[in-house]
Amino acid sequence: MIDLKLLEENLDKIQEKTRARNADFDFDLLTSLSQQRREAIFEFETLRSEQKKASQGMRSLKPGSDEFNALRASLKEMSDRIAALEQKRREAEEQTQQLLMTLPNPISDHTPLGDDEEQNVEVRRVGEIPTFDFEPQDHVALGEALRISDHERAAKISGARFTYLMGAGAKLHRALAAFMLDVHTQEHGYQELYTPYLVHANALEGTGQLPKFEEDLFKTTEDHYLIPTAEVPLTNYFYDTIIDDLSTPIRMVAHTPCFRSEAGSHGRDTRGMIRQHQFDKVELVHICRPEDSAQAHEDLVGHAEKILQLLKLPYRVVELCSGDIGFSAQRCYDIEVWLPSQERYREISSCSNCGDFQARRAKIRFRSEDGKNVLAHTLNGSGLAVGRTWLAILENYQQADGSVLVPEVLRPYVGADRLEKGIL
């Protein structure tokens, strides 16, 4: 969320940055509410001053006199008007806060301008795209032939966008999550957390999923929401907290299932495991001081890239333009892995710097050297999406005979150098 005073002082600039996102926001309503609030405060203070003078004047009047009774009636009227003005101010402030919750984070001055993903800026490509002397198959065909994945049986009990993984397929999925966690905790200095998978609305408001994106969430009958990403419970670990020492960034990692309704994605990526209602991610979150924010962002991207480098999967990094960047991010890099079946790169991690946007919503602060409470900066990114890494391995490591080699770094986790055919 944006500080209202900062917004009012920089209204033209923030309007420009919001337009660059192609985002709809009613700035006229915001201005009107701000005016209502200021008018209510001015009238309230003026009337309180008059009320105070009148109260003092009553002391010199004889109780029961006409003048005394008239002034008492006037004071009663003033009290009613003051209460009404206070209510008006409170309602204007509440409406302003609700409206501000739907205003996206102003983009960084470094974020490239553009209308959509076609105008994202490629930063670098890493790794060699594999060449095959046979027609490569996609991960669905490979998984079905090896009997390590089954989408049809999952659809029977859960509907579309769900998957069974069996045998070596399930083991590879488990191995990937363990491998990612080990790298991030042992080499990159992250602390692993096991988090709740159900959260209250305030946690989702803190990280920006609510109120704007409620249709993308699964809500339970007990007033909980299933997490769409571990970013929510990780970042909100410090909900309404003042961190005593933030001299070095806090790095947290968690492996969780994620649940998304995929509203608005009808007809997109319906085949296989690209876009599912339930999937796993290893999520990375940084909490840091504002002056450490830019470097933390580069570190975060590098940590996610390291996983792909160790797995020897070809990928590229792109910086998202203003028309494609997420609601809570002020600057964002996507990491995209190569998929031979599609002959294109597909997103496998999105690494966002949210500045103090989430921290203001979730009241995450740290104590500075001079004793002041300062809003922290929050960053998050996948390190990586487990399912998409799984399918990228199948497609990039497939062999002419239909088998799939296991990347060398995963072999101690899988216990084999290639995926074996399942028995179900």
Domain 117-414 has CATH 3.30.930.10: yes
Helix residue ranges, H only, 59-150 = 66-100, 139-146
- How far does CA 352 lie from the centroid of its chain? 8
Q: Does residue 424 register a pLDDT over 70?
A: no
Tokens 């109260």: give the residue: 55
For residue 3, name the pLDDT band (cuts at 50, 70, 90): confident
For residue 385, name the pLDDT band (cuts at 50, 70, 90): very high
Q: Which of 21, 37, 260, 360 is catalytic?
A: 260
Residue 388 designated active-site: yes
The pLDDT value given to residue 264: 66
Distance between CA atoms of 107 and 101, rounded to whole angstroms? 16
List pLDDT tens digits, range 136-195.
999 999 999 999 999 999 999 999 999 999 999 999 999 999 999 999 999 999 999 999
Pairing of strands 250-259, 149-150: unpaired
Backbone angles phi, psi at 205, to 5 degrees: -65, -40
Tokens 């490569």: give the residue: 136
- Nearest Cα to 217, choosing from 197, 236, 235? 197
Average pLDDT estimate for 295-308:
98
Residue 193 in tokens: 């957390």
For residue 77, name the pLDDT band (cuts at 50, 70, 90): confident
The pLDDT value given to residue 269: 76
- How far does CA 254 lie from the centroid of its chain? 15
b/e per residue, 72-82, with b = 16+ CB within 10 A?
A: eeebeebeeeb
Cα of first residue to Cα of last residue in the chain, in angstroms, is: 50
Contact predicate 136/398, CB 8 Å:
yes
Residue 350 designated active-site: yes
- The SS3 call for residue 330 is coil
Contact predicate 145/152, CB 8 Å:
no
Backbone angles phi, psi at 346, to 5 degrees: -130, 145
* Percent of the chain whose pLDDT exceeds 90: 84
The HSE-up count of residue 69 (CA atoms within 13 Å, CB side) is 3
Q: Which of 37, 161, 331, 388 is catalytic?
A: 388
Q: Which of 81, 347, 367, 418 is catalytic?
A: 347
Q: Does residue 51 register a pLDDT over 70?
A: yes
Mean predicted lDDT score pLDDT of the chain: 94
Contact predicate 278/232, CB 8 Å:
no
Q: Which of 341, 350, 352, 382 is catalytic?
A: 350
Average pLDDT estimate for 6-16:
94
Distance between CA atoms of 272 and 248, rounded to whole angstroms? 41
Distance between CA atoms of 110 and 123, rounded to whole angstroms? 13
Residue 418 designated active-site: no
Distance between CA atoms of 137 and 271, rounded to whole angstroms? 13
Q: Which of 174, 275, 367, 418 is catalytic?
A: 275
E strand residue ranges, 157-274: 164-165, 191-192, 198-199, 225-226, 241-243, 250-259
For residue 1, name the pLDDT band (cuts at 50, 70, 90): confident
The pLDDT value given to residue 55: 77
Q: Does residue 296 register a pLDDT over 70?
A: yes
The HSE-up count of residue 168 (CA atoms within 13 Å, CB side) is 25
List pLDDT tens digits, range 319-330.
999 999 999 999
Average pLDDT estimate for 345-363:
98
The pLDDT value given to residue 266: 67
Residue 90 designated active-site: no
Residue 409 in tokens: 């770094």
- The SS3 call for residue 167 is helix
Average pLDDT estimate for 257-274:
83
The pLDDT value given to residue 263: 65
Cis status, amide bond into 103, omega within 30 of 0: no
List pLDDT tens digits, range 187-196.
999 999 999 9
Contact predicate 206/361, CB 8 Å:
yes
The pLDDT value given to residue 115: 96
Average pLDDT estimate for 221-247:
97
For residue 255, name the pLDDT band (cuts at 50, 70, 90): very high
